[in-house]
Amino acid sequence: MSKIHAAITAVHGYVPDYILTNQELETMVDTNDEWITTRTGIKERRILKGEGLGTSDLAVPAVEALLKKRGISANELDLIIFCTTTPDRVFPATANILADKIGAKNAWGYDLQAACSGFLFGLATGSQFIESGKHKKVLVIGGDKMSSITNYEDRATCIIFGDGCGAVLLEPNDEGNGIIDSILRSDGSGVPYLHQKAGGSVKPATHETVDAREHFAYQEGQAVFKFAVTKMADVAAEVMERNQLQSEDIAWLVPHQANKRIIDATANRTGVTADKVIINIEKYGNTTNGTIPLCLWEWEDKFKKGDNLILAAFGGGFTWGSIYLKWAY
Ligand SMILES: CC(C)(COP(=O)(O)OP(=O)(O)OC[C@H]1O[C@@H](n2cnc3c(N)ncnc32)[C@H](O)[C@@H]1OP(=O)(O)O)[C@@H](O)C(=O)NCCC(=O)NCCS
């Protein structure tokens, strides 16, 4: 009997309507379109406006459209893994909240926190439930309302982040397609360079933490850049080498969208030519867990059954990783 792989059988995404352009940011902080474009590749990002809306509200339209596309009901889902750095609340899990909103009565679920690498960590863990035979339908969501932890007085970070969400369905595949290999890494010594200072158990919220704006993402951009640019490229090359893949074997490189220069470095290191590198950073900025599933959604029509895809990410923590998968439809 051939090995069961966990294959993506449907993908969908959602970005909110409001477009925050570089020009609007120029009116908020001391920056300019030329600086942002050359340093990051970002032109605009989406922002979820509206009182009382959180990351689960980005996921609902993405998941409902995905289920419709696949022709299944929410009750058929076995497991929901919600990869996010901006959960609706500290507890309960956003996966729970989403299950209720979409009417998934038979699924259990949990949130997964690995910053910008979260979606890859979620794919890797979700695939285990399929490969083991435990589950038949696993929903993996990557989404963030980054605007909820972005300091719009800090020009070094507010230009980068945006809101967005993507979701994939994992199902068993016995044709040799699906998730073939993954290499995932983490290094907690990276904490000082990218983190949220307050709001966790180390430093719960107080008037002082709010006044000091410590509930936003804090980043030392240059340090993060140095790690990201080497780690993401190295791990993508490593997963290719381990699977005897040459650059010409790769149909698509799907990099986390943090910075166009980091994406270019990963493409150069793997030898994948620019026409096979998926980039939409100019429209959405860094949506953290959302970047890779949003790329898969936007490029879905171009993928062919059996295409070799290399996914690669780097995130706060530090976390990083790469997944090799064969597209299944
Ligand atoms: C954040 C980032 C775009 C900054 O680019 P950079 O080239 O490293 O820029 P620096 O931080 O060295 O700043 C260079 C100068 O631009 C200034 N600057 C910072 N943000 C600016 C902005 N939005 N507009 C104009 N100038 C800005 C700095 O103050 C600094 O000025 P100085 O030289 O007078 O001190 C870049 O470091 C980066 O992308 N880092 C990785 C981010 C990342 O991947 N994060 C998520 C991980 S998943």
**Domains annotated on the chain, with CATH:** 5-175 (3.40.47.10), 180-326 (3.40.47.10)
pLDDT of residue 43: 98
Contact criterion met (CB below 8 Å) for 207 and 288:
no
Region class of 108: left (phi > 0), else alpha (psi between -120 and 50), else beta: beta
* Best mutation site among 259, 264, 287, 320 for ligand 1 pocket (most ligand atoms within 8 Å of CB): 259
Distance 30 CA to ligand 1 centre (A): 12
Q: From ligand 1's centre to the CA of 222, what distance in Å?
A: 7
The predicted model scores a pTM of 0.97
> Considering only CA atoms, which residue is closest to atom 48 of ligand 1?
315
Active site residue 116: yes
Q: Using CA of residue 131, residue 135, residue 139, residue 144, what is the dihedral sign?
A: negative
Spatial strand order in the sheet of 178-186: 178-186, 319-326, 308-315, 252-255
- Confidence (pLDDT) at 144: 98
Q: Give the model confidence (pLDDT) of 42-60 as tens digits.
A: 999 999 999 999 999 999 9
pLDDT of residue 59: 99
Could you identify the atom of ligand 1 that is nearest to the CA of residue 224?
41
Tell me, what's the pLDDT at 117?
Answer: 98
pLDDT at 1: 59
pLDDT at 173: 98
Residue 2's pLDDT is 78
For residue 196, what pLDDT is reported? 97
Give whole-number Cα distances, 88 to 40, 54, 83, 143, 161, in Å.
Answer: 28, 5, 12, 11, 17
Helix (H, G, I), strand (E, B), or coil: what is residue 21? strand
**74 Cα: distance to centroid of ligand 1 (angstroms):** 43
Query: Which residues in the chain show pLDDT less than 70?
Result: 1
Residue 243 is among the residues annotated as catalytic for this protein: no
Distance between CA 51 and CA 48 in Å, rounded?
10
How much of the chain is helix, strand and coil, in % rounded to 5? 40, 25, 35
The answer to whether the CB of 22 falls within 8 A of the CB of 42 is yes
Do the beta carbons of residue 131 and residue 6 sit within 8 Å? Answer: yes
Q: pLDDT for 60-110, tens place per residue?
A: 999 999 999 999 999 999 999 999 999 999 999 999 999 999 999 999 999
